[in-house]
A and B are shown apart, each in its own frame.
Chain A
Amino acid sequence: MSRRSIPEINAGSMADIAFLLLIFWLVTTTIDSDEGIQRQLPPIQPPIENPPVVKQRNIYVVLVNGKDQLLVEGEIMNISKLKEGAKEFLIANGDGLRYPNKGDVENFPVRARVSKADVAQKVADYTQAVATATDENTKKAFEKELEKWEEKAAAIRLLGGDYYELPSSALISMQNDNNTTYDMYIQVQNELQAAVNELRDEISLDKFGITYDELKTRYERKPDDLKLAEQIEAVRAVYPQRISEAEPNETGNMYGN
């Protein structure tokens, strides 16, 4: 057998073939990002017979009409002012940490003090209650309460002092008209969310050195990191997500439910 050298295969066209494939993929696919504003819809509930009366000062009413105009707390407002307005609603009476508590500024929700001693007392009470509870259901109920107070205790510890919390009825309420455009609806939702996010970022940067967004991203990467979870809870305790939509109804009653 004569030893012939195997001729080298010209690979120059390989690049062309691969390029063709690449371009085919580029054309047929879309980089579809699943990004957007996340919302949790409230479950449908049977109408309550006597809905509890909520103080007017505890609700920040945002109405959008069919011409995409805003009526906020009874006054016409430009959307560029909405974020500041919503922030003011949340902090007008001060959280006791970054904003000194002013107690009782008119027309804004009154924040209640969450003090270390009180919380410690409650935690002790409920620990006792859980330990002595006899039937399963009461025990579970007590455990739930205990968890709530332990979260508050953790918040005080992490934030470095007592804070003032929003009353549970405090709410940013939005209602739109059937003719409101979707774009306007999203812009309003976005501004309200921006108000909450900015406040959360501020306190998170101040106390933990990173933004709230960053806290969440890190927690997503390390879901078993309890410290991160506690930090997120602490921020949320001071600035809870309280954006809701009024029930749509045809009677024109703006504050249904």
Chain B
Amino acid sequence: MGKFRKGGKKEMAAVSTASLPDIVFMLLFFFMVATVLRTEEEKVKVVKPKASEIEKIEKKHLIRYINIGPPQDRETFGSEPVIQLNDVFATVQDVQTWVDKERNTMREEEQSKMWVSLKVDQDTKMKVVTDVKQELRKATALKILYSTNERERTGGGN
């Protein structure tokens, strides 16, 4: 059978790796588009609760965040839950002024569409959350989102 060539002297053609950078760049761009830069330092430790009935807010620029949880730096700030607005610790009384300030950073026609996302640690007691909610009501920031992670609906369902 002379169909097969004898002798392995022929060099195998090198696989061109020229397209590899392109592929990696595409990956890079994908991640750049799909992720959000961590704009603010998280000073409180938040383990979000899990829920099944969740909805997503598409327009991210309408969302402002309030973090509530025990401080990351326990030695300096203790372990009681604290409120973090933007980059600083705050008290309940600061919430109203913060809402007004944040609202002024938005375009006028969008101010009424503001969402406040509450990122609260799951072991926090409701006292502080209820207080913050009351302040939000006073500041007429009524659209809120309890930020949670996703889980399956319990008990069969559909």
Contacts and interface: CB of A to CB of B under 8 A. Distances in A.
Nearest to B117: A34
A31 B37 CA distance: 9
B125 A178 contact: yes
A190 B53 contact: yes
A28 B143 contact: no
Interface residues of B, number: 57
A68 B121 CA distance: 16
Interface string B126-158: 110110011011101011111111100111011
A19 B146 CA distance: 36
A11 B24 contact: no
- Secondary structure type dominating chain B contacts: mixed
Contacts of B122: 181-183, 186
Contact of A197 (B32, B53, B127): B53
B120 to A, nearest CB: 5
B35 to A, nearest CB: 4
A182 B123 contact: yes
Interface residues of A, number: 55
Interface stretch (B5-13, B57-65, B82-90, B99-107): B57-65
B49 A182 contact: yes
A14 B28 contact: no
A189 interface: yes
A36 B57 CA distance: 9
Most buried by B among A15, A30, A43, A180: A15
A127 B52 CA distance: 43
A41 B53 contact: no
B157 A194 contact: yes
Nearest to B122: A183
B66 interface: no
B34 interface: yes
B146 A36 contact: yes
B126 A185 contact: yes
A204 B144 CA distance: 26
Interface of B: 17-18, 20-21, 24-25, 27-28, 31-32, 34-38, 49, 51-58, 60, 63, 117, 120-127, 129-130, 133-134, 136-138, 140, 142-150, 153-155, 157-158
